[in-house]
Amino acid sequence: MPSDSDSLPLAGVRVVEFTQLVMGPTCGMILADLGAEVIKVEPPGGDKTRTLPGSGIGLFRAFNRNKKSVVIDITTPQGQATATELAGQCDVLLENFRPGLMARHGLDYGTLSAQYPRLIYVSHKGFLPGPYEHRLALDEVVQMMGGLSYMTGPKGRPLRAGTSVNDIMGGMFGAIGVMAALRERDRTGRGQEVQSALFENCVFLSSQHMQQFAMTGEPPSPMPSRAAAWSVYDVFSLADGEQLFIGAVSDKQFVTLCHVLQRPDLAAEPAFADNASRVAVRPALLQRLGDILKDHRLGELMPKLEANGIPYAPIVRPEQLMEDPHLRASGGLAPMRTEDGGTTDVVLLPLTMDGRRPGVRMPLPGIGEHDEEILSGLPSRRTD
């Protein structure tokens, strides 16, 4: 995308972001990538996400690009007054703190909307209003509650997904709500409160399995022990300890796979005549395919599968994606200058607009880097 933010779809939209960790920052990043001016409010000392250890170390860099940073202590009367003024200069306010915190500091929707009726106020929560709304939630909590962990792990061993799927999805729905509310404000002249929640996100992900039960009366089995719809749809072990997923999901693809493996005799066996027949003897079929594939090498087999239109996938680790040839060639990774002066490649939004990828326009902000630029423009700070 052009570096000039005026060419982006949300140019002219101003957002103030009171968020931390993943859910709220994801929403702000999406809006920022699409051209909004996003002002991240950090507490004195900075957002604690900046210094998380372990598996949290990459969170700040992953979800806070294209933003400006100011430091405001909203626990003090002066900070609350400053935050209120800043909200009045913005189209959108984002927050994802625990229930009641923003109200305690006079920054809740009811208080701010009375003063600024055009404000769109987005709360990212654990639960939408209802019996659970005052519970604290984490991505892993709602994965357990929302059916995802049950469906992911083997029977009796619920397993969380390997990334913060609900946090990220919650931020996405928050951004969708912002864009819908901006459109509605064009008609009505009024803002509104938008809520996005982790639990409801997760239930949305599980909705297909809920409908499966509604239609069959049979509780769905976890994915590792599900009744397969296709006979060849599994991970196989190849030579040298490599692994490859192969999905031959039609009769034509099965015949083609047998020819790629130089075993047309398999396709000719009556027991493997069609998908329903193959599913009935699936364990035996997979065993035979496994015995054949264990002598094949990944680098030799993948081009043959691709040339013949057979769905396949190597088992890729996150660090390998940094050099993925498709991501590199398609512009899915872009350099961003970090707060320490270094550079890192970041993953861009998974969309194109008129053939262009919304990209990186600004370095990752330092703590309070834009205090003077943003806060000096508040009515209480002006000297003219």
Element (H, E) at 165: helix 165-188
- CATH number of the domain that 376 lies in? 3.40.50.10540
Q: What is the CA radius of gyration of the chain?
A: 25
Whole-angstrom distance, CA of residue 118 vs CA of residue 289: 63
What's the pTM value of the predicted model, to 2 decimals?
0.92
**Cβ-contact 24, 93 below 8 angstroms:** no
One domain, residues 130 and 176: yes
Q: Kindly report, residue by residue over 179-201, the tens digit of the pLDDT.
A: 999 999 999 999 999 999 999 99
Q: For 72-107, how does the pLDDT look when each residue is reduced to its tens digit (9 = 90+)?
A: 999 999 999 999 999 999 999 999 999 899 999 999
Q: Which residue has the tokens 């999905």?
A: 247
Residue 219 falls inside a structural domain: no
Boundaries of domain holding 345: 5-206+324-381
State the Cα–Cα distance between residues 359 and 366, nearest whole angstrom: 19
> Are 373 and 57 spatial neighbours (Cβ–Cβ below 8 Å)?
no
Task: Report the alpha-carbon distance of residue 354 to residue 77 in Å, rounded.
Answer: 47
What's the CA gap between 272 and 251, in Å, rounded? 9
For residue 2, what pLDDT band results from cuts at 50, 70 and 90? very low
Domain boundary among 303, 319, 335: 319
Using the predicted structure, report yes or no on whether residue 226 has a pLDDT greater than 80: no
Predicted pLDDT of residue 115:
97
Query: What's the CA angle centered on 130, arms 126 and 136, to 5 degrees?
Result: 30
From 276, 302, 319, the end of a domain falls on 319
Mean pLDDT along residues 267-292:
93
Residues 314 and 328 occupy one common structural domain: no
Q: What is the pLDDT of residue 383?
A: 55
Tell me what the mean pLDDT of segment 246-273 comes to. Answer: 94
Q: Is residue 223 part of a domain?
A: no
- What pLDDT was estimated at residue 381? 75
- Please state, rounded to an integer, the average pLDDT across all residues of the chain: 94
> Both 78 and 158 in a single domain?
yes
Q: Does one domain contain both 306 and 331?
A: no
Residue 5 has pLDDT above 70, yes or no: no
Q: Which residues contact 312 (CB under 8 A, 6 or more apart)?
A: 244, 245, 246, 247, 301, 302, 305, 306
Per-residue confidence band for 4, with pLDDT thresholds at 50, 70 and 90: low
Query: 9: closest CA among 262, 356, 374?
Result: 356
3-state secondary structure of 122: strand
Q: How many domains does the chain have?
A: 2
Residue 222 forms part of a structural domain? no
Q: How far is CA 250 from CA 247, 306, 380, in A?
A: 9, 16, 68
Whole-number Å distance between alpha carbons of 139 and 161: 9
CA distances from 27 to 64, 70, 71, 123, 190 (A): 10, 18, 20, 10, 21
CATH of the domain at 251: 3.30.1540.10
CA–CA separation, 22 vs 61, rounded Å?
A: 11
Please indicate, yes or no, whether residues 240 and 288 belong to a single structural domain of this protein: yes
The Cα–Cα gap between 253 and 259 comes to 10
Residue at which a domain ends, from 290, 319, 348: 319
Q: Which of 354, 326, 312, 381 is nearest to 72 (CA)?
A: 381
Helix, strand or coil, per DSSP, at residue 170? helix
Asked if residue 87 lies in contact with residue 14, where contact means CB atoms within 8 angstroms, the answer is no
For residue 3, pLDDT beyond 50 = no
23 and 116 co-located in one domain = yes
CB-CB contact of 210 with 202 (8 Å): no
Q: Which amino acid is at 365?
A: P
